[in-house]
């Protein structure tokens, strides 16, 4: 499945969440990740996140699609993790 994951964390937990999400998805903007992921891997990611998230303060939002081709994406300005940025 294709997901977009967005999170809002307290300052002390942001770095942990960034590092965790980078193991599973592509970082596209501050606190925003996207990419193909299996149900099992998504469940694993969320299981680890639940160990340090403070549910009364933090949030994680996941948008799911069967396939990226069903998602129209428009970018204004420079894409944060485009090939030009990496190379």
Say whether pLDDT at 78 is over 80.
no
- What is the per-residue pLDDT across 1-11, written as a single tens digit (0 to 9) for each? 999 999 999 99
Q: What is the H or E stretch that residue 83 is in? A: helix 83-86
Axis-axis angle for helices 39-49, 11-24 (nearest 10): 160
pLDDT at 85: 42
pLDDT at 73: 72
Say whether pLDDT at 86 is over 70.
no
- What is the per-residue pLDDT across 21-56, written as a single tens digit (0 to 9) for each? 999 999 998 999 999 999 999 999 999 999 999 999
In this prediction the pTM is 0.80
């Amino acid at each position: 499945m294709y997901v977009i994951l967005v999170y809002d964390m307290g300052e002390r937990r942001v770095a942990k969440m960034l590092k965790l999400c980078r193991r599973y998805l592509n970082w596209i903007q501050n606190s925003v990740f996207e990419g193909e992921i299996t149900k099992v891997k998504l469940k694993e990611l969320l299981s680890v996140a639940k160990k340090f998230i403070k549910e009364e303060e933090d949030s994680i939002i996941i948008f799911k699609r069967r396939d990226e081709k069903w998602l129209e994406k428009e970018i204004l300005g420079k894409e944060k993790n485009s090939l030009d940025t990496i190379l």
